[in-house]
Copies of this chain bind each other. A is one copy, B any other.
Amino acid sequence: MPEEKNYHMTAQQFRQYGRAVVDWIADYYEKIETFPVLSQVKPGEVRKTLAPKAPGKGEAFADILRDMDKVMPGITHWQSPNFFAYFPANASGPAILGDLLSSALGVQGMLWASSPACTEVETHVLDWLVSMLGLPEKFLSTSSGGGVIQDTASSASLCAMLAARERVTRYVSNRQGCRGGLVAYTSNQAHSSIEKAAMVSGIGLDNLRLIDVDGNFAMRPDLLARRIQEDREAGLVPFFVSATVGTTSSNALDPISSIGRTCQQHDIWFHVDAAMSGTAALCPEFRYVQQGVELADSYTFNPHKWMFTNFDCNCFYVANRKTLTDTLSILPEYLRNSATESGEVFDYRDWHIPLGRRFRSLKLWFVIRHYGVEGLQYHIRRHIAMAHQFAEWVKEDSRFELAAPVPLNLVCFRHRGGDESNQRLMERLNQSGALYITHTRLNDRFTLRFCVGQTNTEQRHVLNAWRRIQEEAAELK
């Protein structure tokens, strides 16, 4: 036995260093607007400041924390109120502290039995969200379905596709492997994760039909129905449709009701991906975006995007949990236990790809309780109102035009000067450090995206951003 030593941080040290980190974070948020939003480093610039080899002897915590100074230049500040890029990945105090408790408890919720609270709080909070969002009751754990937290919508959509694959092949694909003939559908504006799911699951990209969209970038249900018909006539088996509530590119809203009816008619699994925009349904006046969701077999949205819950926290619902668990369950001897055998509990390891899982519902529970439904609704409404205000400014400036409808919090717009002007405008704004926006292509034209969803974004940030955009536009040749 080696001599008695102890390299661990004691509880007393944890109190001291923990406070230092909490203060570091509070300081960071107080000065976050002083940093350039988009990191200005070149490739390799952060790495070359780091020690080339791991230290042989342990270092003082103060030195480790001080080295965050080496990291910070390489941070793009997703929590800056001047972050308008991509979709948000917002956070909040209660989420960060709930997640801290999760890290410290360090439980594995792979089975109900391996830490019952991890499963039960998750099931409970996901049931809360069903009514908070006006989702169908079949998604409740007390019904035939239920919800689970996954890392990302990419993983959730993959699981939906897998369950659909198994349902249509009567669980033969799991045993014998895929043998072709299955066809999936989504719009050509859907998130890349649907393509990735088709690759991963053995379906193949060639068997994913990218249905064309209407002038608002929403899937055309008539073309979907026609393509399904053609595929059936060709002897293929349509098995999965993914519709999007708020595409990443332009926030387009696929017509869920009519797509859902087509799926129902052909007995096709209907998945709804509302990764960011699902959060809008917290407000009854925005629930129209998911009209028809009662036809869905599965549904997913990310509190880690727009609901103040730090990454990772994706919510995935199924109407029939047995299909999902029959698809993903493997029960080796070392995980057998009486609770599982009783059938009275959920073992969430059977609801997703990973086996291990952390207590992610704590942060979500903390967020909902800290804000209350009222506080969440207030901030979502404000984000949407600010985006609509921004869209008005765009419309009023003759140099610019809107490139897509603005149902919620994403504004797609462009300078009338053409692709190169827009690209240059974006690069100059981002290099200025004052704000961060990203782009997409719509109708094959370079289009700027301005998404309002960061926790601390206020009117002044949106106004400043618009002024900067106008100033840079004035500089354009």
Question: Given that A106-B91, A116-B76 are contacting pairs, would A14 and B29 also be in contact in the complex, using a CB cutoff of 8 Å?
Answer: yes
Query: Does A223 have its Cβ within 8 Å of any Cβ on chain B?
Result: no
Q: Which of A151-159, A253-261, A266-274, A396-404 contacts B (4 or more CB under 8 A)?
A: A151-159
Please name the residue on chain B nearest to A9 by beta carbon. Answer: B93
Question: Given that A106-B310, A155-B353 are contacting pairs, would A101 and B368 also be in contact in the complex, using a CB cutoff of 8 Å?
Answer: no
A342 to B180, CA, bound (A): 37
Min CB distance A444 to B, Å, is 10
B64 touches A94 (CB 8 A): yes
A456 to B8, CA, bound (A): 8
Q: Which residues of B contact A432 (CB under 8 A)?
A: none
Q: Which residues of B contact A310 (CB under 8 A)?
A: 103-104, 106, 358
Query: Does A41 have its Cβ within 8 Å of any Cβ on chain B?
Result: yes
Min CB distance A281 to B, Å, is 14
Chain A: number of interface residues, binned into ranges: 35 or more
A23 to B22, CA, bound (A): 12
B53 touches A131 (CB 8 A): yes
Q: Which residues of B contact A53 (CB under 8 A)?
A: 128, 131
Mask: chain A, 190-212; 1 = CB below 8 Å from B; 0 = not: 01110110111111111100000
B173 touches A204 (CB 8 A): yes
Docked complex: A27-53 residues within 8 A CB-CB of B: 27-30, 39, 41, 43-47, 50, 53
Give 3 closest A-B pairs by Cβ, nearest first: A202-B202, A177-B204, A74-B117
A386 touches B1 (CB 8 A): yes
B104 touches A74 (CB 8 A): no
Question: Given that A101-B68, A116-B45 are contacting pairs, would A334 and B155 also be in contact in the complex, using a CB cutoff of 8 Å?
Answer: no
* The one of B58, B199, B205, B382 that contacts A369, using a Cβ cutoff of 8 Å: B58
A177 touches B206 (CB 8 A): yes
Docked complex: A396-418 residues within 8 A CB-CB of B: none
B89 touches A356 (CB 8 A): yes
